[in-house]
Structure 1
């Protein structure tokens, strides 16, 4: 059982994530790829991941299950505590992990299983191993998650919308007890099903609640209670989420509504899982000023969201934008 100890200050500082986080989805999907849990929900995805081009995982990523075993401990550094809504930011945070953190986490992993190959090199602090890790994570994401990212994002945002309404109507305690059917709120302690008996004392830090598409069965959190508290929790799934969408060109009806350039901007934000204005301008072949103008219009329309991270502005698709892109094409005049 997971025991989360709140203070009154913690309840005020508890917050929801703003969307799916690629690094958490990568870790938890690696678990699902190898543990065979949730077969009704995930077996279709497993088959597609293992059979694309008949190669299974990309060669560069085949060692990742050794770093993220489905049972027991997975290194905390793979899921940064700082919010990272896009792949680039998440990878930067992972690859900037201090050497002492790498050594601490991989020493913990070594107590559970022998470290082999690139995992052992990571434990030694090799810069080449970190580069290899970055390539493996990027290739795994492109192979296993990117083809489904629109659906992942839409379902996570749907959960966030529901939690937000629960908070407005019933308060934070209703949000906490709604994280899992087995949740129990015994003030000031929230108890959640977990893989082991684990206590987290928030001590005024609050906690970030992260809905996760690949979290299954019970919530997931850091092994080290000193890290900023994050609770990843399972969401509901449509059993047909891996079914291919009917082929059509979304650009044609969207272009009639939004214009060709603005359609390109919206679909580029969707395809990238979030991107900066500079990346958006480069991918669409327009100027920075034009990219800023179009994202402003799309943001005002509620189709994308924009947040500042460091020196960059990152644009991400909102549920309304995803719904617009994937809306069925018209079939002629209504009778």
Structure 2
């Protein structure tokens, strides 16, 4: 059990991360890839990813076992992390004492590759090898699905925003899922080991993660800026076939996207809406909304998450781009 202790000042400093964190998704997915549970959610992706990965997968698996501790420095909490390159630059500048301390906590039973000893000493070549491995893994295992990862996390953030508006910060904390329980002033989190995290006025970043599984996670060192990484809900078919980007393949899924109702649903999904809200706004039936939503989702313009028994729709990056074009003034 992880217990996170809040003060009144901490409650005022809770925030949801602005989007997916590249390094958390990499580390969580490396661990999830090695597991056998969660087949309903990750089985199709595992089957797709495993034969595509180069030898760097084995290198990373040595640092990121499927269960238990993983080094904190692999998921830095400071610096620019708006792109993978920026995040890797932060990681590559990890101070030597941090490298040595974090790597020393890996279980002695792990058969670590020899280069890890050089990494613990801050060897530049070893750090570069790690950075290259992380970059290659992201390109091979995550980049093709990254728009879907981003869309799911955007949708989760919209759900959290509604919780915050409806029930305040404590409602936000209470609604993070069945593995997280808010018992003021303590947040109790299902966790593989007993750990306590005293915020002491520093606040807490809630980081939704697509590949976090099966329980939330946090940093081992409580002195680092506090973060709680939690699993999000997934569309059942999220790992379905990737779109064929080759030209000359017909009109594709965008062909049916004509009509006022679908456009209205897409506009409503810009800030997030449920099926009930869209039906009320557009004065159509719930089944009609569901039918149009299916077309929009197949075209990659919206994503849908299900929470508290209702479907919640949010425009994807592609959907927002289409709406932005619609809003531009025409030529004069």
Q: TM-score range by the shorter chain?
A: 0.7 to 0.9
User: How many Å separate the matches in 2 of 1:250 and 1:196?
Assistant: 51
Does 2:156 align with 1:135?
no
| Structure 1 contact 19–85 (Cα < 8 Å) conserved | no
Worse-matched range after superposition: 218-227 or 318-327? 318-327
Shift in Å at residue 116 of structure 1?
Answer: 2.3
Normalised by the length of structure 1, the TM-score is 0.73
Residues 225-260 of structure 1 show CA distances to partners (whole Å, capped at 9, x for unaligned) of 111000000100112111124536799999xxxxxx
Indicate the SS of the match to 1:9. helix
User: How many Å separate the matches in 2 of 1:117 and 1:246?
Assistant: 41
Shift in Å at residue 322 of structure 1?
Answer: 2.6
Instruction: Give the 3 Å change call, closer, same or farther, for CA 132–248 of structure 1 in structure 2.
Output: closer
Does 2:67 align with 1:71?
yes
Worse-matched range after superposition: 85-94 or 199-208? 85-94
| Structure 1 contact 95–130 (Cα < 8 Å) conserved | yes
User: How many Å separate the matches in 1 of 2:135 and 2:175?
Assistant: 33
User: How many Å separate the matches in 1 of 2:188 and 2:247?
Assistant: 45
- Regions of 4+ moved over 6 Å: 249-254
Residues 113-152 of structure 1 show CA distances to partners (whole Å, capped at 9, x for unaligned) of 3432222221222111001001100000000010100000
**Which residue number corresponds to residue 215 of structure 2?**
218
Structure 2: where are the runs of 5+ without partners? 255-300, 302-313, 324-332
User: How many Å separate the matches in 1 of 2:145 and 2:40?
Assistant: 17
CA-based RMSD of the aligned residues comes to 2.6
Give matches, 1:250-329, under 5 Å: 319-323=315-319
| Structure 1 contact 213–234 (Cα < 8 Å) conserved | yes
| Structure 2 contact 13–203 (Cα < 8 Å) conserved | yes
User: Which of 155, 162, 167 lines up with 2:159 in the alignment?
Assistant: 162
Q: Give the number of aligned pairs.
A: 262
Give matches, 1:1-335, under 5 Å: 1-52=1-52, 57-82=53-78, 84-111=81-108, 113-247=110-244, 319-323=315-319
